[in-house]
Amino acid sequence: MIKVGDRLPAGTLNEYIEVEGNGCSIGPNGFDIAKETAGKKIAIFGLPGAFTPTCSAKHVPGYVEKHAELKAAGIDEVWCVSVNDAFVMGAWGRDQHTAGKVRMMADGSAAFSQATGLTLDLTARGMGLRSNRYSMLVVDGVVKALNVEGPGKFEVSDAASLLGQAKTLLG
């Protein structure tokens, strides 16, 4: 499993872009993880699935709510990573009002989740291999803080906890 001090693995995450801008076409776009994190401070949180109860009721709303505070603490971007396709992540982002606050990054084939070792096998529940619930603070592609939840838990990967770490580590 990835740990504090490790560089994020190479790869691509996909994001559904609603409007044309910055040279991006409307629709799913692939983003190189190394290029997107270079020179930036990014709060990344991973979760098992779009539109699932805890993810929709607590995890994503917390990061949307704390967006301004995260920015004030020095965070450049906030990413939500889930093993869903970019279309689902885009629809979920609309539902959760994440525009301009949280980038909804699709890890459609679980390649990023597997490369970080942050997977959760939910095959028995009909969901297959998913992302574990976690949060991390990444500075210039390197993990500075990592909070991985135990099975079925939501105690350490919330926005308030990562905000506290960002204030300490970036302040």
Q: Annotated active-site positions, please? A: 55
Name the nearest CA neighbour of 160 among 54, 82, 27, 43.
43
Strand 77-82 relative to strand 119-122, pairing = unpaired
Q: Which residues pair with 135 in a beta bridge?
A: 45, 147
Which tokens go with 143?
């993990």
Distance CA 59, CA 159 (A): 8
